[in-house]
Amino acid sequence: MWNNQETRSVILQILTMAILIGFFFFIVDNAIANLAKVGKTFSFDFLNQPASYDINQTLISYTSQSTHFRAGLVGLLNTALVAGCAIIASTIFGFILGVFRLSPNWLINRIAYCYIEFVRNVPVLLHILLIHGIVVTTLPQPRALRDPDLMSTWSILDAFFLTNRGMFAPRPHMEPLFWATIITFVLGIGFAIWFKRWAKRKQEETGKIYPIFWISLGAIIGAPIVMYVITGFPIEWSMPEMGKFNFKGGTVILPEFLALWLALSMYTAAFIAEIVRAGIQAVNWGQWEAAFALGVRRGRTLNLVVIPQALRVIVPPLTSQYLNATKNSSLAIAIGYMDIVATIGGISLMQTGKEMETMFIVIAIYLAFSLIISAVMNWYNRRIKLVER
């Protein structure tokens, strides 16, 4: 069996996995034994104990009497929220910057270049601290907005108010009929996907071009608005109102979230811009010339000819930037944003003394986030790859 190459390969793989698994169990057993010597046990029972601390931003109901498990769930949702918002904003901003880097307009090109070189050569933690400092020190205190002049300066339509305690905005309270608007919106997305495929097939068969963008916009935005009006505006808005020291009512977006979101978005966008620039430049110049020869405008050429081909170069390194943005969100603890590191990996750890267990949970959550992002991006990469004969 050993002289057979295929059999020998299987045996070596089995032995390697056995050694790795044995080493892993040895490390775990050694850690448990050392914890037992100092009077500690390895268990997750602490998750059912009261957390006894407050969290400044919660997407679900939570009080200081909630369990550590509940606190960890709040931190997980806060991490997912800021990471998701940063990924979306950095993608949009990064693509715009990447196109600007290749603009024939000298001024736009240089502005984009200076921004990219400045942002990506400064640590992201400094960006977070800088933006948080600007938000906290530059924006006025809520009670200062009693002055009509300041109110007009730091408010939008007398409904959104910018202060150093966050941005106060109206809070919607949905009535049962609002579900009709939500269902219409979902159906509109489904119709837009179907119509795009149908229009593409018809264009290949007959050459006729349909206004896909406007029809899709009408289905996704226009139809829900019409349904919203027909059902009698089934949303009540709780407006923020000035109290004695702070605003009451409405909802608030905390300055910690704003600072972290903006810093991660701006920092990641600088790297995405260079990836987009490299992807566009990887497309042969003959593609541009062929489109120009047919009379296609530069913007349409970029949108219809170059970007679809450049995506095959852009997507793999773009995945790494999404992973970096998600993992960089762990720096939120520096400005007091209560993510999974600050809750389970911070306060819960110090209260319970469960170092191994809390760090295991934090590591597992970030690993799960990374694997999910990688799986989605790998699926998308397979969808757009070049199909060879």
Write down the domain spans for the chain: 5-37, 68-142+253-384
> When comparing pLDDT for 138 and 371, which is higher?
371
Least confident of 62-76, 139-153, 318-332: 139-153
Least confident segment among 32-41, 187-196, 233-242: 32-41
Query: To 5 degrees, how large is the angle CA 304–CA 209–CA 195?
Result: 90
| Band of residue 85 on the pLDDT scale cut at 50, 70, 90 | very high
CA distance 251 to 239: 8
- The Cβ-side half-sphere exposure at 70, using a 13 Å CA radius, reads 18
Question: At residue 280, what is the residue type?
Answer: I
Q: Which of 76-90, 171-185, 197-211, 228-242 has the highest mean pLDDT?
A: 76-90
Side chain identity at residue 56, one-letter code:
N
Question: Domain 68-142+253-384 classified CATH 3.30.460.10?
Answer: no
| 235-254: average pLDDT | 80
What is the share, in percent, of the chain residues with pLDDT greater than 70?
98
pLDDT at 295: 83
Which residue matches tokens 């579900």?
Answer: 179
Tell me: the pLDDT tens digits for 277-318? 999 888 888 888 888 888 888 777 887 888 888 888 899 999
388 pLDDT tier (thresholds 50, 70, 90): low
> Residue 389: which pLDDT band, with cuts at 50, 70 and 90?
low
Task: Give the mean model confidence (pLDDT) for residues 339-368.
Answer: 90
The contacts of residue 87 (CB under 8 Å, 6+ apart) are 268, 322, 325, 326
> What percent of the chain is modeled with pLDDT above 90?
37
Instruction: Between 124 and 155, name the one with better pLDDT.
Output: 124
In the predicted model, what is the mean pLDDT of residues 264-281?
A: 93
**For the residues 311-329, what does the mean pLDDT come to?**
92
Check residue 387 and give its pLDDT.
Answer: 62
Q: Report, as an integer, the average pLDDT of 150-170.
A: 79
- The pTM of this model reads 0.82
Look at residues 25, 20, 65, 73 and name the one whose alpha carbon lies nearest to residue 361. 73
The C-alpha atoms of residue 345 and residue 116 are separated, in whole angstroms, by 33
Q: Pick 128 or 253 by higher pLDDT.
A: 128
Is pLDDT above 90 for 364?
yes
Cα 296 from Cα 83, distance rounded (Å): 38
Lowest pLDDT segment from 32-46, 317-331, 360-374: 32-46
CA distance 117 to 94: 13
* Three-class DSSP labels, 34-101: HHHHCCCCCCCHHHHCECCCCCCCCCCCCCCCCEHHHHHHHHHHHHHHHHHHHHHHHHHHHHHHHHHH
pLDDT in tens, 119-152: 999 999 999 999 998 888 888 887 777 777 776 6
Q: How confident is the model at residue 386 (pLDDT cuts 50, 70, 90)?
A: low
As a whole number, mean pLDDT of residues 40-64 equals 86
Average pLDDT of span 17-28: 90
Among 356, 338, 251, 253, smallest CA distance to 51 is for: 338
Computed over every residue of the chain, the mean pLDDT equals: 87
